[in-house]
Structure 1
Amino acid sequence: MKPAVVLSILGALAGCCFGSLVHAADDSNDTEHAEIQPKCFKQNYYINAAGDMRELHDCRIISGNINIKGYDSDSLDLGSISHIKGSLSVANASSLLRIEGVELSTIDGTFALDTLTSLTSISLPKLESIDTIQWKVLPILSAVNLDKGIKRINSVVMSDTSLTGFSGFNVESLKTLNINNNRFLERIDSSVKEITETLLIAANARNLQVSLSDLTWANTITIKDTSSLNLDSLQVVENSAQFINNRFSELKLPKLKSTGMTLSVINNKQVRTVEFPSLAEVGGGLMIIDNDQVNRVDFFPVLRAIGGAIEFQGNIETSSFKQLKVVKGSAIIKSTSTQFDCNKWMKEEVSGVVRGGKIECGSGASRSTEVLLVDESGDITTGTPGVNSGVADGDHAKQTLARSGSSGSRPSGVGFAAVLLGFGVSWLAMQL
């Protein structure tokens, strides 16, 4: 066959096959653009009436943000919308009772609900992909239908709702999990393995049970007002870990190896068992304060280094750190027990490991505290005795905050714990 004929045949085949692919691609693009009608293709929608919302009911894709404020109906129906490429925000709609979106599967931005005082139910049965849930001041919200299950989400903030349970978020990583002031919330379950910014759980139901059994890494942790806690897989806390005002009887972190900043166990009145069998390093301060049932601080068997100060208060009878090599701040204990031996603790337990701080000890047997001053080379001099009058609950925050300036290389963690005690976490949670 002549070369010219071969080229002619190849040209025909190319025109036939590849031409059809080009037309198919063009048809696909035409279809996509046809789905996004001009009215569905805006950067922002501002809606305050049911009629405004109905105009978008036949849009399958919304290209921008839907902002709903002061809505005038008791029902918000999202019609046929399946994909919102921006955010969905609903705020200050006192008449709104229900939010429904039977086709909605994806919100690329934030799903924000704020100050909806009559909202009782949300039904989004196909929703499975979203960047951020931010729900605040939904005081009678009690029913949420997310039947499909959320499979992609970055952050969750839920505050002041009437929800009784939190689950169904099947993701491995979150930036933020902030669940606070949900007075009927009795259970939090999540399979999340990593929280890269903030884990904060506080001021929910008195009998709240928290299970984050797969969590292995977290940046910052604050757990407050819970009755049971499962963090069995947690290995690393990059910054601070704080367990404050809880009602659980045991605090066990069997796999935790290190915290980058302060570790605080404060005012957990019912905790009897505390276990940190794998903890080798605390990058900031170590605070064990006013846990009424804890009278032995011997639950850090492999702890070798503390980057800030030690501060213990309460009915502590004994303290033991078998592997501790260095404390880069002060070591202070004020025990109400007459059985605590300050001489032994100061001379045998901590005098050889404190570098650049003071050692202060008071027990129930004395009204004054003994003080030793230790420089960075380990040389010790006797300091002026302090007052061992005890610290009333309401004064903990003020005195702890005042001490934080001389508590070692990382005072910020100590100060944060003091602020939590003095003012609670509600303000902090609402700012996140």
Structure 2
Amino acid sequence: MAIMKFLLPALAIAGMAAAADCDGQTIQNQGDADGLASCKTIDGDLEISSRVSGTISIDGVERITGKLTCKGAVNMTELSAAKLAKIEDAFMLSGLTTLATLKFDALTEVDSINFEALPRLQQLSFTKGVTKAGSVRITNTDLVNLNGIDLETVGDFDVSNNPHLTEVNVNKITNATGFVSFSANHRDLKIKFPNLENALNMTFRNASDVSLPSLKKTTGLIGFYSNYFEDFAAPNLTTTGDLVINDNSMLANISFPQLETVRGAFQIANNTNLKSVTEVPKLKTITGALDFTGNFSEVELPELKEVRGQFNMQSSGKLNCDPIKENVKPNVRGTFTCLGDVDDPQTRNPTSTGSNPSRSSGAALSGYVPPSGMTILALIGAVIRAAL
């Protein structure tokens, strides 16, 4: 009995010491998570084992200096952390095929978000809203919106293969410093960036609406591929890198009323309902090539004074090339082609980056441009242009 009098307090002290271990570690079960209740800060990475099941609730932790990750925990149905406000490295969830609830009431800041293969997750319960993230990647989830991601600035923003995602409204973003890409989500997806003014590189695929009312400048590519909207307008866009409008079968109207400079190639191709291109009244300079092909019968470029690359305009419609030859041809440094009433209008590899989104690897038909092609080369082109 005397031994027990000393042994029990010693065991209690040892248990307290273990519970007070706030270094990075792996959670194997809810008991491990409960052991972190006294830790306001986890110093290092916090990993959730692929062997966990059911509900994991991380209570007490307010900050993780490293990553929060969980990969392949196919039996975990719920993950929550009521007080966690900041993850200083990546927040990565992958292959959680039964996860239906993700509840982080206090989370406002992460270095990056990477959610992939979460087929049961329909909403993000981020009550305060994540306002700071260096990058966001969300792919192969069951999300219907991105409520809870309330960023002011972002680097890369990749949202793809979310079959029930119908709304993306990121009201506060004014600056996107990386690659913004949307593809293969719900056909009715509406994408709204109401306050975005500056971007590096943006591509939109398979969306029913894209709204960029405040956008003034993109340094690199802005591209629209295989979308379903009938109208697109960028009322405040003045300068962009490559501008590509390709294979949007329902598109009937485009408007760029303030656009003056395309620092790269300007391509419009395979938009079967687009009969005229007349709402680019201030366009003066294209530092790459111009490549318009389709079924249009009217094109007006009244202020175009310089095309440094080739000029290729071909239409199966009744396009009158005489005014274009008279007013634009003298300002073209490269080869000049303008043809109306042709059976098979042909693009001419126009992009300043050396790739053709309408012909390379079936890109226009699939709505996909391999990352080693247009996207990466557009970044290289943007860096070169910025240095000039």
Where on the TM-score scale, by shorter chain, does this alignment land: which range? 0.7 to 0.9
**Bigger Rg over Cα:** 1
- Preserved contact between residue 36 and residue 59 of structure 1 (Cα < 8 Å): no
The structure where helix makes up a greater share of residues is: 1
Query: Shift of the alpha carbon at 1:51?
Result: 4.3
Specify which of 281, 289, 309 is matched with residue 309 of structure 1: 289
**Quick check: 106-115 or 70-79, which moved more?**
70-79
Match of 2:123 among 137, 143, 157: 143
What is aligned with 1:340? 319
Please report how far the alpha carbon of residue 36 of structure 1 lies from its aligned counterpart in structure 2 after TM superposition.
Answer: 11
Contact map agreement 2:123 2:146 (CA 8 A) in 1: no
Mapped to 2, the partners of 1:35 and 1:262 lie a distance apart of 59
Q: In the alignment, which of 287, 290, 296 is matched to residue 276 of structure 2?
A: 296
Following the alignment from structure 1 to structure 2, what is the Cα–Cα distance between the partners of residues 411 and 343?
Answer: 30
Contact 1:57 1:78 in 2 (8 A): yes
**Which residue among 176, 179, 182 is the counterpart of 1:201?**
182
Letter of the 1:206 counterpart: R
Instruction: Tell me if the contact between 1:284 and 1:413 (Cα under 8 Å) persists in the aligned partners.
Output: no
Change in CA separation of 1:325 and 1:426 when aligned onto 2, cut-off 3 Å: closer
Aligned equivalents of 2:370 and 2:69: distance in 1?
22
Q: SS of the residue aligned with 1:151?
A: strand
What residue in structure 2 maps to residue 234 of structure 1?
215
Q: CA deviation at 1:286?
A: 0.6
C-alpha distance 99-427 of structure 1, shift in aligned 2 (>3 A): farther
Matched residue type, 2:232: L
* 1:396 alignment counterpart: none
**2:364 maps to which residue?**
421
* Cα shift readout 1:264-310 (whole Å, capped 9, x = no counterpart): 01111112221100000001111011212211111210000001111
Alignment of 1:93-108 (within 5 A): 93-108=73-88
Separation in 2, partners of 1:210, 1:154: 20
CA distance in 2, matches of 1:417, 1:68: 44
Q: Using structure 2 for the length normalisation, give the TM-score.
A: 0.85
**1:351 aligns to what?**
329
What is the CA–CA distance in structure 1 between the aligned matches of 2:190 and 2:360, rounded to whole Å?
25
Aligned residue in 2 for 1:27? none
Q: Residue 114 of structure 1 aligns with which residue? A: 94
Select 2:299's aligned residue among 297, 313, 319: 319
What SS does the corresponding residue of 1:215 show, helix, strand or coil? coil
Are 2:205 and 2:367, in contact at CA under 8 Å, matched by a contact in 1?
no
Query: How big is the alpha-carbon RMSD for the aligned residues of Structure 1 and Structure 2?
Result: 2.6
Aligned-residue offset at 1:94: 0.9
Distance 1:148 1:233, change over 3 A: same
Shift of 1:62: 0.4
Unmatched 5+ stretches in structure 2: 1-15, 377-388
Provide the residue aligned with 2:145 in structure 1.
165
Amino acid paired to 1:350: V
Q: Deviations over 1:43-87 (max 9, x none)?
A: x42344444444334322100011234233122221321211111
- Residues 315 and 101 of structure 1, relative CA distance in 2, 3 Å threshold: same
Distance 1:171 1:142 in 2: 20
Cα gap change, 1:118 to 1:293, in 2 (>3 Å): same
1-structure distance, mates of 2:161, 2:74: 20
Cα distance in structure 1, aligned partners of 2:101 and 2:156: 24
Count of equivalent residues = 357
CA distance in 2, matches of 1:327, 1:54: 66
Inter-partner Cα distance in structure 1 for 2:238 and 2:359? 21
Query: In the alignment, which of 233, 236, 248 is matched to residue 229 of structure 2?
Result: 248
* TM-score of the pair, normalised by structure 1: 0.77
| Deviating more after overlay: 79-88 vs 66-75 | 66-75
Q: Which structure 2 residues correspond to residues 2-401 of structure 1 after superposition, within 5 A?
A: 39-41=21-23, 44-190=24-170, 191-259=172-240, 261-337=241-317, 339-345=318-324, 347-355=325-333, 357-364=334-341, 366=342, 389-390=344-345
Distance change >3 Å, CA 294–CA 418, structure 1 → 2: same
Q: In the TM superposition, what is the alpha-carbon distance from 1:427 to its structure 2 partner?
A: 6.2
- Contact map agreement 1:320 1:349 (CA 8 A) in 2: no
Gaps of 5+ in 1: 1-33, 367-387, 392-399
Q: CA deviation at 1:239?
A: 0.7
CA distances 1:364-384 after superposition (whole Å, capped 9, x unpaired): 2x5xxxxxxxxxxxxxxxxxx
Question: How far does residue 37 in structure 1 lie from its aligned partner after superposition?
Answer: 7.2
> Given residue 421 of structure 1, which amino acid in structure 2 is its aligned partner?
A
**1:411 is matched with which residue: 336, 353, 367?**
353
Q: How has the CA–CA distance of structure 1 residues 126 and 180 changed in structure 2, closer, same or farther, with 3 Å as cutoff?
A: same
* Structure 1 contact 176–196 (Cα < 8 Å) conserved: yes
